[in-house]
Chain A
């Protein structure tokens, strides 16, 4: 059974600081890995998708890396803003498209 762990569980930083969120998974036979953002009272928004054959993906201030062999992914958010405050979830899928989620990292960016 796939186990996904996210560290830290919570993070509070001043505005402008870079964020580093970690995700680890036990079964390296994944199809892809996705990072989501969850805002209170709202659903999930897909931020980045990394296919198993890729090493990283970038979108604006966001960069996600994937080391499949060691079962790790890292999400970097550059120059954080208060609007980045949310819970960030890491999820891995196998060929059946079912997702296994981590418990999330709750980020607070202080103005």
Chain B
């Protein structure tokens, strides 16, 4: 099984600032996924991060607001830019184990924007 480390685990930020979340996987994976879980709601896919190409964003999410980097097969970052209180959520990265189809998740980053 894949082990995913996310940093930071939580943060409290001021309106208008940006936060970069890091995701490290203990094995090489082709695709990494970033999800958002708003308070009291389920997970929504933000984007798929592929190594060596631009991330693919889901409807309602744009690169200017959520820029993603994928410099190698074990690491990705998600930046939440120009934050507002509406960005207060848990952000999770995940990977898919192709052979079994199982999806693994990091512990998440709990973000609060004041």
Q: Check if A and B associate.
A: yes
Q: Which positions in A face B, CB cutoff 8 Å?
A: 31-32, 34, 36, 41-46, 49, 51, 89, 91, 93, 96-104
Interface Cβ pair total, 8 Å cutoff: 58
With A43-B92, A97-B31, A98-B33 known to touch, is A34 a contact of B106 (CB < 8 Å)?
no
Are A101's CB and B42's CB within 8 A? yes
Which of chain A's residues have a CB closer than 8 A to the CB of B100? 49
Contact of B101 with A by CB under 8 A: yes
Are A101's CB and B102's CB within 8 A? no
With A42-B108, A97-B31, A98-B45 known to touch, is A49 a contact of B101 (CB < 8 Å)?
yes
Are A99's CB and B101's CB within 8 A? no
Are B92's CB and A44's CB within 8 A? yes
- One digit per residue, 1 when the CB lies within 8 angstroms of any chain A CB and 0 when it does not, for chain B 93-114 equals 0101000111111111010000
User: What's the Cα separation between A51 and B99 when bound, in Å?
Assistant: 12
